[in-house]
Chain A
Amino acid sequence: NAGVMQNPRHLVRRRGQEARLRCSPMKGHSHVYWYRQLPEEGLKFMVYLQKENIIDESGMPKERFSAEFPKEGPSILRIQQVVRGDSAAYFCASSPSGTVQPQHFGDGTRLSIL
């Protein structure tokens, strides 16, 4: 999984706090996808971004969750006022274009809510 960098690898937050998850795509990739994996489940699509644009956010919860991919810097997945149900592994993937092709994943951020 070298190439797609996610940090932090582990994040612990108390209920009501904010969580910020970062993703730097592979070099040359301008398309970023965020997925969430709950225990014993598969990965679920959350949001697809290009530089400075949200292309598809159909998998994002309507409240408390937001994502951005600025012109400079990593993509950020932000969760406000976290609740216990937000505990999950959050994976970022990248691809060089928006056409259907294999996406390359980072090693994820494990978010734990106390």
Chain B
Amino acid sequence: DQQVKQNSPSLSVQEGRISILNCDYTNSMFDYFLWYKKYPAEGPTFLISISSIKDKNEDGRFTVFLNKSAKHLSLHIVPSQPGDSAVYFCAAAETGANSKLTFGKGITLSVRP
């Protein structure tokens, strides 16, 4: 049972354009969401998070949007840079449930120069 879904396995965008990575979840108890970036042979690196009391969080080029009614979140990267090419994982957690993270399968982002 995939509680966090990243339905698009890959995305390719031109340098300078916006990258939009989508994530859906099914567990209505999730109230904290994170995005991680991962390069090959490395561990995931935390990018940005959002609590369910917000619908938007911004950090530099990265913005995460949360639509609770649709159980959907998205990560916007603008402008996209070649160094952003990596696998992006969406993760979710339930406050008070031992903070374990439930991950999606990831999206491979390629930013073309």
Interface residues of chain A, those whose CB is within 8 Å of chain B, are 1, 4, 6, 31, 33, 35, 40-45, 48, 55-56, 58-59, 91, 93, 95, 98-108
Contact = CB atoms under 8 A, between A and B. Distances in A.
Main secondary structure of the interface of B (DSSP, over half): loop
Interface residues of B, number: 28
A99 to B, nearest CB: 6
B44 A105 contact: yes
B100 A42 contact: no
Nearest to B2: A42
A58 B46 CA distance: 24
Interface string B75-108: 0000000000000010101111011111111100
A91 B46 contact: no
Contacts of A106: 43
B100 A33 contact: yes
Contact of A59 (B4, B95, B100, B104): B100
A48 B98 contact: yes
A45 B101 contact: yes
A20 B1 CA distance: 29
Contacts of B96: 100
B32 interface: yes
Contacts of B46: 102-104
Given A93-B101, A102-B46, 20 more contacts: A1-B42, A1-B43, A6-B43, A31-B99, A33-B100, A42-B4, A43-B44, A48-B99, A48-B100, A55-B98, A58-B100, A93-B43, A99-B99, A100-B99, A101-B99, A103-B46, A103-B99, A105-B43, A105-B44, A106-B43
B32 A100 contact: yes
A100 B49 CA distance: 11
A62 to B, nearest CB: 18
Per CB-CB distance, the 3 closest pairs between chain A and chain B, nearest first, are A105-B43, A42-B103, A102-B46
A105 B45 contact: yes
